[in-house]
Structure 1
Amino acid sequence: MDYKSHILLYFSLFFTASFSFAQTPNWEGAKWIWQEQDGPANTWVAFRESFNLNKVPEQAIANIAVDTKYWLWVNGEMVVFEGGLARGAAPNTNYYDEVDLKPYLKNGENTVAILVWYWGRTRKVHDDSGNGGLIFHANLGENLLNSNANWKLKVHPAYDPKSGGGGKSANRVNAYNVKFDARKAMEDWSESAWYTNKFDDSTWDKPVEKGVANSKPWGTLVKRPIPLWNDRGLVNYEALTLKSNQKELKLPFKNSTDSLIIIRAKLPFNKQITPYLKVKSKAGETIVIDTDNNHNLIQSIYTTKEGVQSFEGFTWFNGHFVEYAIPAGVEVQDLKYRWTGVGEMAGTFESSDNYFTRLWWMARNTLYICARNGYMDCPDRERGLWVGDVADQTGAVFYTLDEPGRLLLKKGIDNTIAYRDGDTIQGLAPGFGAYRGKSSELTGQSLQYIDQGIWQYYYNTGDKPTLKNAYPAVLNYLKLWEMKPNGLPEHRKGYANWVDWGIDPDPVPTNVVLYFMALKAAKNMAVTLGKTNDISWYDNRINSIKQNFEKEYWQGVRYGSKNKPIEERVSALAILSGLAKKEHYDILVDSVLVPVKKSSPHMEWIAEEAIMLTGQYSKGLQRMKDRYQEQVDIEWLTTLYEKYHPKLRGTYNHAWNAPNYVLSRYIAGIKATEVAWAEYEVKPNLVHMTSVKQIVPSVRGDIFLEINRADGSYQIDLISPENTIAKVYIPKNGKEFSKVKVNGKVIWKKGKLKSNVDNVSFLKEDKDFAIFKVKEGSWTFTATHK
């Protein structure tokens, strides 16, 4: 896809996928169908419908909605692996998918087969409708293919609804284990009726018509706002070993012992996967498939039939190793896995320091594994869209993920706004389950989300409709906060007075600064949207906090409460917000931000960014190295932990780790300086590094940057996408330049502009940089020092 098509598609998605029920299509008589019972929970139901086509149509778009997940085959070929999104876009809504069937259709008889998995329980990420269901509509030219009572239905007998999994608490994972008994399986039921040995569905039941489109209990149908998963197909593991002795294993392998053997299958890194096996066995043997992840609450359990057979567990889980427990006498012929997820990890970062290259890669993996139906805190223990965790991820999204990742962030914003509790921005969306009937507001996270989530999303994408949808809720939430006589906001506790997992948190001033940052972000929103009547209200509160923060919270060497132990979070936030006086920067860095290490990863990136903002990049890198060294040194670990103190603990893939944001923004030095990356800067600060390579998947296209320095020279190679302007800073590193070349032509020599290069202009020189502005294109800047 060329650039213009990419941008048109992207902004078309903004307008059509912005939270609006008006986009629901005409379902033309399609019915919600299911069995007579509304559930039960954890039920797998198979549907089939055969039909004739005289001619394959020019277009064959199917609209499909289920509660909760589905797998789709046409003529025996898998079309969608795990369709459907957890409910919903808002209360009383259900997502639907658009799927192109044309590549799979044939002249003559065709068969659509759909396996639907109904979860039937409300937890953090899913608001159960109370009724399993499928609704399907496709206009096939001469034919309308609608779900109705003429379809065929069968509760899949091989799936056990009592499989367990997901944890016992409503605080935990929505999905269940997959427990599949191959002795009860329906052979080749997804195949087309036109095959020679066609599947006979004549004994299947007729479904019950439960309702029409946009009816309760499923509610209004809303188009899926993100693409279907990136399904990379079944592939081999990196290595197979016996867990007992770590010996390498070659397939086929038969367990010739009289006891259970565990085969450990190595993944390239921690991924969201579904496991596959092919075995030869007698009937009735049970194979349990799990991972090395101590917090994983999901597994697949397979009971064999007689002979050679294959199985893929359709409930995804994650880990570094997949473990297959193989009973005595079973021959393993093949083991594979399927990696699925949202789009691609399109961003990259490499440097001459292998530590930071590996740390950025681990942070990238952590971000990606915490993204699916929504951004989440972790993929194993909760899968909850905690808004503060998402705010932590937001900065990294724009350096790491492609368009689907940005759309997932939009989805998270829309969901959060739709599921607010009155005027309260809650911590979770949908936020039911463990918190039904009780607000899940974490005040610090709700405030953080306004600036670092909603505003930064807009600034990096230019998606004004989403900003417009969110703004009224942002204003109303900020008005819930009262001001005290001392000119600072009254502390709101929410349902939990929590700001960080780390040691000695100081919630009151933390929330004061986060409220200040939220006010400034909301004012920017008001200016952008032309809400001029709101601006004086923001200014009054912003100025009040500016005038009173220092005298209340400056404690000589730090910011924070008078009688609280020293900690770094309030001081770091004061720098980020602009409340800290610049004359305090050195003492804040040397007395607090470098030596004090009490934050959890949730606020660690804030401390690191604060140091970078003072210009003391080497100290920022040193803190980052000190904090993550233990994890980077663990050879098998490919994602980042939830907590530091008193030792590594919690999940080993928690979403609020964002060193890739700090490294990309302040070391490679790339950041947007105008909305939607219309203008951006390249201002590298390599410190001890001699090279950095970075790809930034911006909304306008990929930015490619490579920086190399050696004694006496400095080179920046930049490929800048269409309709962008880049301001390029060439560091002097304490030396004057003798000359600067652009694409081989001397443009600047001995402090003077020597010649012109089309689409390049010299801006200025200061003690640290020579600064140029370039338009789109490929540019090589080579600077030679005196």
Structure 2
Amino acid sequence: MKRLAIIAILSIICSIAGAQTAHWITADDPTCNERNVWIEFRKDFDLKKKVKKAETRIAADSKYWLYVNGQCVVFEGGLKRGPNPNDTYYDMVDLAPYLRKGKNEVKFLLWYFGKSGFSHKSSGQSGMIFDSPSIGLVSDSSWLSQRLDAYRTAGKPTVNYRLSEANILYDARLEGQDGYKPSVELGEWGCNPWNNLILRPIPQWKDYGVKPLEYTVSNDGEGNTILTARLPYNAQMTPVIDLDAAEEGVLVKMETDHIMGGSEPCVRAEYITRKGSQKYESLGWMNGDELRVIYPENAGITFNSLGYRETGYNCEREGSFTSSDETINRFWEKAMRTLYVNMRDTYFDCPDRERAQWWGDVTILMGQSFYQLSPDVNALTKKAIHELVDWQREDGTLYSPVPSGTWNKELPAQMLSSISTYGFWYYYRHTGDAETMAYVYPAVRKYLSVWTLDEDGLTVGRKGEWSWGDWGTQIDLRLLLAAWHYLALESAINMAELTGNEADIPGYESIRESIFKAFNGFWNGYAYRHPTYQGATDDRVQAMAVLSGLADASKYDQIFNLFKKQQYASPYMEKYVLEALVKMGHGDFAMERFKKRFGPMIEDPLHSTLYEGWEEGGYGGGSTNHAWSGGMLTVISECVCGVRPVTAGWKEFEICPNPLIPECDITIPSVSGKISSSFKDTEEAFILKVSVPEGTTAHINLPEHPYTSVKMNGKDADIKTVVKSGEYEIICTK
């Protein structure tokens, strides 16, 4: 027995000694670290039998496409680099469904950006690592590779400085002219410059497949033919062309109507033909409502088809909303389109100009996500939260957008909003994710420590590197910062209690008491104004005073009068103005103001998404796909449909309908199950139908009215009631 045991141990030791180690590899080419480099790797190998599982760890700088035995396994894998300033994300992919007994072939197409941007920190070195130990397949110098010279950079206009991606030019004349060489090993798992590898926290993209487009043909009067195709909506997509060319060397350009999205050059593509039939998909995604293909007249080009592949964040639109108000319905659809086109590696402010995770935007986007998208989206919000705190500087300050290799400026108002009850704590209320709160709380405490009070007891007006409070004018920044600070402290108190840091609470409460007293010292009888501020009274400040609780109900009438006159908030801060109006009991005016201000972008027939400002090309660059403009979706969900979590994770929730719209029907895909609520308000009755998922409790609070009877499922009831899971119909007869 002892001899057998020794043999077994020696066998294991030999096995370990013979195990292969995955290495970061790149092509044997001195130009492989330039901007916009494409490298193809290849590995042939044998399997003695078909395997049931082949978990594979893959990391790359920057993006990759993986093919096994001719099948596409991953379309644009990898995440833009930067879980923190030093490290890199890796993917986990199961190859088993694509493998077979006998000979197998892996092809790996790598796109190295070679440039940092507002959502990516370049390592400075092209490379990939591939580790599939269960089948003995690891990246090393035995993999063949080549830089693909057919991939080049398109001519001017080049993309603006915020983007890491380059405009791709593909020269089909150069296909097959490269030569494979053994790859160069750069280091093992965890080596510089990629350092620690962190598991990708979000799913691979949802691939909707290639779909055909109908197009019109026109001439631009300058010797070019233009194919124009309307996409079904503003989507993240890669264009697909299928053509015959009588001659080689014809330049074909591909762009969307967002080529100058937000007033800056954005992603486009170019293709140079070879002679004969050819089909090409430009792999760098772009977005827009319209795809345009441009090439010289009389160039011997015959188009067989034009198509596109939409890809996007892998979640479902499980929520729904309909109402008796068609303007609201159109807004809702545009808000959802704007939200989805601003989700991928991170949340974006816009998908064309920046693709950047500004946290003022994230606080608005996450609310819409919770109310309408499947819980898969929560991973993207959690990723955003982790990235923000993991990029925290030594001095305690937070900044965004991150990840980024070209931006490091703090916007204090946005950072306070990120950790406030509209930011981190809002995430906890909707998910019940206490683990994440425990992870981020030390960073929250550290950031709050950089904020101090002045001699009046008010928040000191820290400028950070950009003292931005909103787009537009008439911003009373001292008071706006104080209101956000007050909400951030409320969030910190909640987090401290949740995470066992109760000793911190008295300090937070003391600061809040000071801010409350000082802030209300600046009430002049009709509005809040800081004495150093000389502009017109700021509607944003009044809204945040109401929502934070700094303003009590005795001030609501005066604040309402001001809201009837002042309209300075951008679409970003207007969300808070509208929410404040509903809280004060002026929901009808909130709807009126909303339709007046948002009407032009809602009714715009050319754009399926919402604007950055109040008009195309307005302040901030004027993008036409800014998801912060969808904040009213959350207000309607919470304050009109009246559905909100009472306890974290929706185990208990309230339904308090506010019939500012005569009929509403909403379904919310909460982490505790789908919640449905619909109401109809007529002269004869108010009718509410609700569906409460298993294991949850609903607190129902109906509108006050001298009803003649209230019946729930045919039995007498009260306008305030608590129900367990089930289906309910409440009829309140007037």
TM-score (norm 1): 0.86
Partner Cα distance (2:89, 2:603) in 1: 43
1:230-278 CA-to-partner distances (Å, cap 9, x unmatched) read 11111123x4223569xxxxxxxxxxx9942111111111111111111
Which one-letter code corresponds to 2:120 in the other structure? H
Partner of 1:775: 724
Asked if residue 442 in structure 1 is aligned to residue 411 in structure 2, the reply is: yes
Deviates more, 1:605-614 or 1:494-503: 494-503
Partner of 2:255: 290
Partner Cα distance (1:166, 1:656) in 2: 27
Which one-letter code corresponds to 2:237 in the other structure? I
Q: How does 1:57-72 map to 2 (within 5 A)?
A: 57-72=51-66
Q: 2:204 aligns with which of 195, 210, 228?
A: 228
Q: Once the two structures are aligned, what percentage of the paired residues are identical?
A: 34
Q: 1:587 aligns with which of 551, 558, 563?
A: 558
Partner Cα distance (2:635, 2:90) in 1: 37
Asked if residue 561 in structure 1 is aligned to residue 530 in structure 2, the reply is: yes
Per-residue deviation, 1:784 = 4.1
Partner of 1:539: 509
Which one-letter code corresponds to 1:330 in the other structure? I
1:598-656 CA-to-partner distances (Å, cap 9, x unmatched) read 11112010100100111221111111111101111211221111112798561001132
Q: 2:182 aligns with which of 169, 187, 206?
A: 206
1:463-488 CA-to-partner distances (Å, cap 9, x unmatched) read 12211121111111111112112111
Question: Is the CA contact (8 Å cut-off) linking 2:116 and 2:405 kept in structure 1?
Answer: yes
TM-score (norm 2): 0.92
Partner of 1:392: 364
Deviates more, 1:361-370 or 1:511-520: 361-370
Secondary structure of the corresponding residue to residue 731 of structure 1: coil
Secondary structure of the corresponding residue to residue 430 of structure 1: coil
Partner Cα distance (2:585, 2:185) in 1: 65
CA RMSD of aligned residues (A): 2.0
Secondary structure of the corresponding residue to residue 696 of structure 1: strand
Secondary structure of the corresponding residue to residue 151 of structure 2: coil
Partner of 1:401: 373
Deviates more, 1:224-233 or 1:293-302: 293-302
Deviates more, 1:208-217 or 1:384-393: 384-393
The 1:32–1:646 alpha-carbon spacing in structure 2 relative to 1, beyond 3 Å, is: closer
Q: 2:715 aligns with which of 732, 744, 747?
A: 747
Partner Cα distance (2:168, 2:427) in 1: 37
Per-residue deviation, 1:360 = 1.4
1:681-700 CA-to-partner distances (Å, cap 9, x unmatched) read 1111122x332121212112
1:84-125 CA-to-partner distances (Å, cap 9, x unmatched) read 001111122111111121211111111111100001111211
The 1:567–1:244 alpha-carbon spacing in structure 2 relative to 1, beyond 3 Å, is: farther
Q: How does 1:569-584 map to 2 (within 5 A)?
A: 569-584=540-555
Question: Is the CA contact (8 Å cut-off) linking 2:601 and 2:615 kept in structure 1?
Answer: no
Secondary structure of the corresponding residue to residue 239 of structure 2: strand
Asked if residue 300 in structure 1 is aligned to residue 269 in structure 2, the reply is: yes
Asked if residue 242 in structure 1 is aligned to residue 217 in structure 2, the reply is: yes
Partner of 1:96: 90
Deviates more, 1:110-119 or 1:652-661: 652-661
Asked if residue 330 in structure 1 is aligned to residue 301 in structure 2, the reply is: yes
Partner of 2:77: 83
Partner Cα distance (2:710, 2:425) in 1: 41
Q: 1:369 aligns with which of 332, 341, 354?
A: 341
Question: Is the CA contact (8 Å cut-off) linking 1:84 and 1:95 kept in structure 2?
Answer: yes
Partner of 1:718: 690
Partner Cα distance (1:404, 1:165) in 2: 37
Question: Is the CA contact (8 Å cut-off) linking 1:164 and 1:176 kept in structure 2?
Answer: no
Which one-letter code corresponds to 2:286 in the other structure? F
Deviates more, 1:706-715 or 1:278-287: 706-715
Which one-letter code corresponds to 2:275 in the other structure? E
1:15-64 CA-to-partner distances (Å, cap 9, x unmatched) read xxxxxxxxxxxx96111000244612210000111111121112111111
Question: Is the CA contact (8 Å cut-off) linking 1:377 and 1:655 kept in structure 2?
Answer: yes
Which one-letter code corresponds to 2:465 in the other structure? Y
Partner of 1:156: 148
Question: Is the CA contact (8 Å cut-off) linking 1:241 and 1:263 kept in structure 2?
Answer: yes
Per-residue deviation, 1:714 = 3.0
Q: 2:647 aligns with which of 674, 682, 685?
A: 674
Per-residue deviation, 1:660 = 0.8
Question: Is the CA contact (8 Å cut-off) linking 1:42 and 1:162 kept in structure 2?
Answer: no
The gaps in structure 2 that reach 5 residues or longer are: 1-18
Partner Cα distance (1:43, 1:619) in 2: 55
Deviates more, 1:678-687 or 1:270-279: 678-687
Tell me the number of residue pairs that the alignment of Structure 1 and Structure 2 aligns.
Answer: 699
Secondary structure of the corresponding residue to residue 173 of structure 2: helix
Per-residue deviation, 1:79 = 0.9
Partner of 1:476: 446
Q: How does 1:133-282 map to 2 (within 5 A)?
A: 133-140=127-134, 143-161=135-153, 167-169=159-161, 172-186=162-176, 203-237=179-213, 239-242=214-217, 259-282=223-246
Asked if residue 492 in structure 1 is aligned to residue 462 in structure 2, the reply is: yes
Q: 1:35 aligns with which of 27, 39, 44?
A: 27
Which one-letter code corresponds to 1:785 in the other structure? T
Partner Cα distance (2:672, 2:158) in 1: 40
Per-residue deviation, 1:730 = 3.1
Partner of 1:510: 480
Partner of 2:126: 132
Per-residue deviation, 1:139 = 3.4
1:664-722 CA-to-partner distances (Å, cap 9, x unmatched) read 111111111110111111111122x3321212121122222332343423332322222
Question: Is the CA contact (8 Å cut-off) linking 2:617 and 2:623 kept in structure 1?
Answer: no
Which one-letter code corresponds to 1:609 in the other structure? E
Partner of 2:12: none
Question: Is the CA contact (8 Å cut-off) linking 2:120 and 2:164 kept in structure 1?
Answer: yes
Per-residue deviation, 1:180 = 0.3
The gaps in structure 1 that reach 5 residues or longer are: 1-26, 188-200, 246-256, 754-764
Q: 1:113 aligns with which of 83, 107, 113?
A: 107
Partner Cα distance (2:644, 2:157) in 1: 43
Partner Cα distance (1:258, 1:683) in 2: 61
Deviates more, 1:698-707 or 1:599-608: 698-707
Per-residue deviation, 1:168 = 4.6
Per-residue deviation, 1:584 = 1.0
Partner Cα distance (2:615, 2:52) in 1: 60
Which one-letter code corresponds to 2:242 in the other structure? K
Partner Cα distance (1:355, 1:270) in 2: 19
Asked if residue 317 in structure 1 is aligned to residue 313 in structure 2, the reply is: no
Asked if residue 617 in structure 1 is aligned to residue 580 in structure 2, the reply is: no
Q: 1:412 aligns with which of 379, 384, 408?
A: 384
1:341-390 CA-to-partner distances (Å, cap 9, x unmatched) read 11233332211100001111111111111111111211111111111121
Partner Cα distance (2:274, 2:303) in 1: 14
Secondary structure of the corresponding residue to residue 423 of structure 2: helix
The 1:554–1:431 alpha-carbon spacing in structure 2 relative to 1, beyond 3 Å, is: farther
